[in-house]
Amino acid sequence: MSVPDIVFRAGACGNHVRWMLSVDPKFDLTFCPNVAERVQWIHDNIYQSRTWNNWLNNEWTYREHLDSIIRVSHSEFDPRESPMNTAWINRPQLYLLQKDPWLAGLHYFMLNLGMNNSTLDLFVEDCQRWQHNLYYTRLYNESYNMPNKKILYADTLFESELDYTWYKKLIDWAGYSDCYEQAAQIHRFHFQARLRAARDFVDYFKSEHFCNNLEFYQRFLEKN
C-alpha cells in the first residue's frame, strides 16, 4: 500500500498536522515508541525551542523517518507522474487548502525571508492559482473517481485551539483513533511556538545588532 500524502503550500501547517497525527498508537514514531510519553517528547524535541530562524531546520530533522509513514509534500504529483497515473489516483492524499492564503504567506515570510526567490505577493498569487487549478481541474473533475483524495481548509490551524470538528475529519481521512486531547496539546505547543517566533522576529529587527548591520549597508551605498 502506498504511503499517504499531506499536500500543502509552504506555511500551511502540513508538518504540524502530521505531528498531531503522530500521537496515535498506530503511528510508528521510533523516536518515542512509548505512546504515553509522546506528547511530552514532541513538546521537548519539536516545539520547545522553535523560533523564526530555526523553524525549518527543526522540522527537517525528523522528516526522513516521518515520510515513511505519512509523507508531506508541496506537490500533488511525484516526478514524471500525471493526473492519469493509476498510482496517483489510488494514493491516499490530504490536501490542505486555505480560504485566506495570506495566513500561510505571512507565517512563511517570517521563517524564510527570501521566500524561495519570490516575494510575499507572488507567493500568495501562486497559492491561489495552485488551489484553483487543483480544485477545478483535478480533484473535482467528473472524469475521475478518486475517493482517496480529501480536501480540508486549514485556516483554523492558525487559531489558538484545535477545532474538534476539523480534527475529526482529519483522523477519519487517516483512519486513526480519536486522540483529540493529546492532539489539542500538540496544537497549543505549535501556537505558543508561533507566538515565540513572532516575538523573536520583531525583537531581532528592532535590535541593536540588526541596526548595526543596516548602518553598514547604508554606509556602503553612500560610498558607492
User: Span 47-57, mean pLDDT?
Assistant: 96
**How many whole angstroms separate alpha carbon 92 and alpha carbon 30?**
23
Task: With a cut of 80, say whether residue 158 has pLDDT above it.
Answer: yes
Q: What does the pLDDT read at residue 17?
A: 98
Task: With a cut of 50, say whether residue 143 has pLDDT above it.
Answer: no
Task: With a cut of 90, say whether residue 137 has pLDDT above it.
Answer: no
CA atoms within 13 A on the CB side of 126: 17
Q: What does the pLDDT read at residue 74?
A: 93
Q: What does the pLDDT read at residue 214?
A: 93
Task: With a cut of 90, say whether residue 135 has pLDDT above it.
Answer: no
Q: What does the pLDDT read at residue 48?
A: 96
pTM across the whole model: 0.93
Phi, psi of 219 (to 5 degrees): -65, -40
Say if CB 168 and CB 178 are below 8 A apart: yes
Q: What does the pLDDT read at residue 139?
A: 61
User: Span 78-82, mean pLDDT?
Assistant: 77
